[in-house]
Chains A and B, each alone.
Chain A
């Protein structure tokens, strides 16, 4: 084994393994799907030498490629957000889904879909095609802030309070979503299903264009918070003693999570579990330092989501499984296994 004295895997070999896995999954993802394309077909299209089969080039370049990229970004940003929240709350159970951030983001998006024609018409006029991502982003940020406030107020018992707050936030957001669906027309309901189930099924270059800037920004900014977040693992007061400004760190992390999760929800709906499982896995193998956890979570999370999506596309072909369902099917048992083997969180 290539474990070092701490029982962890070395960074360089791990990086090689993770990047290779990402490359393999990328290949599998663009070469598998309901529509049959041989490796030769793919190579021909990629070489740009094949004008005789425009459908193959469309499937590959217009559907599978943006879907792979979007899936990777969404997986990466959800994992990074999970890692940020877990560090911020000093709680390995914090996850965008669990504390209600995703629910808040999707509630905001649903509100825009259902009320866009009436009360929120001004919002649509103001933001145009950005109305949904911006709403999801604001909804996500507001929920992180709320969860933080509640957990912070409770002081020492923050762990339990946080989870209870999450349950309450999820319940309220769920109820509000239900209320909105009650007033939704059939047409609107159709779009709502997508938000609550999670899907990459309509992913295209447009979605990528809208969501990618936010998500890439969130993924790139996060490592800047690694050192103060490490300090957060020792407690909020220690953050200040070590020369950081806890409030600034908190605000930055909340902004990044709101931005990233909001954008992810905006383009792919609700996808759970990846934000919880991936940082956990990375910490088990490589340690808890955020300088390692954040970049590796991005890589592993992206790879895992793309792998799950590739599976979701082929198991019931020609139909597709919802990606959220697939993620829970893979992530759930995996997480349980991890819990049973663990020594410390």
Chain B
């Protein structure tokens, strides 16, 4: 196994990323050709950037691995991760943009005028961010081990250091151009090798799966009698459909849109871009069933995308394709973990490290750097301590927590006048504690198979309704606490900007 293409790819991605970052910063012109209006971020560019930040190691590596190991019902993951934006498009995108909020705690503060709800939201943003960062570092470990042959702990440490240096030095700010570039890099890094591999597969006489799954496993969601399989599928659908709107690094990107209409258009383009991208990982999964069944047997299914070109195409072409997918994987965890670290560090610096502490107070930049260190080191330790949880599964847990907390907050906060601060806090606590406990159990120990494990590994199907019910119930009981400005806030959220009226 030679490591040269992997190292070259990783270095190239890093250099290209930094180069675009620098170029994007230095777009300086004289007044004669400077038009502010034409420079605002258009929906297409913004959507590419969202795609770049959103498509993480779980999408790039995890989906193919899951399809390889568990078969086609794992296609619910990519479907859910895309369909989440459909819910976002229909119910959240435009009102959220019109609220003027930059982060989810900002939205809570604007809606309820309450510092307490804001504090609860900040805690949840940090928790979700850390939970989402953890599999990214894990994916980094897998990638570097597969590409360079380094021990598993090297990847997370190296990547943690790179991300930390980038974030705290002010490079890799969530610059739209960089993130947009990352999307297209990831797409091509999967598309080109996939085309070659499919051609090879065709030339080989279209071999079928080496060890076909039993039929009932393949159709588990629709299996007669239901059981945990059906429950797990529904839970996964709920978590992924409703969790996207609660991801901290996705929400902040919507602020870049000039208005609510642009936010909707952006979401629409995101749907198309993600739909295109998610066609590819299952192709790797399916080819892997024919060519790389031993990866699933040895429990290394997450490296399928990285290993498959080498296994199918020997020689220089295989090495080149390996380099390309390595570059894509590197871009995947670099962009997602940078975006997430920035989002988490921002919330930490605003609500924790930037606060006065025994009379002393850190300055803005220092507070942000301290926040960035926390945002990188904690998931890094998690990745080193618990390397056995699958990349896509861990991301699924982050989605479950987001769906059980921020989804009810956003949907009810945007569409129901009656939501009160007390109801919001109670619902966030119920959903957060419920799903959080399930996540902690899943991460800490491998429980025996059956219903209890299913309920804990996929908590969304019970924790999301629980959070909704708590929010509605407590809000109805504390009806007198409906914020006085709710009516005006609703007008702001739901009237198009083009409409000329006094929004107070």
Q: Do A and B bind each other?
A: no
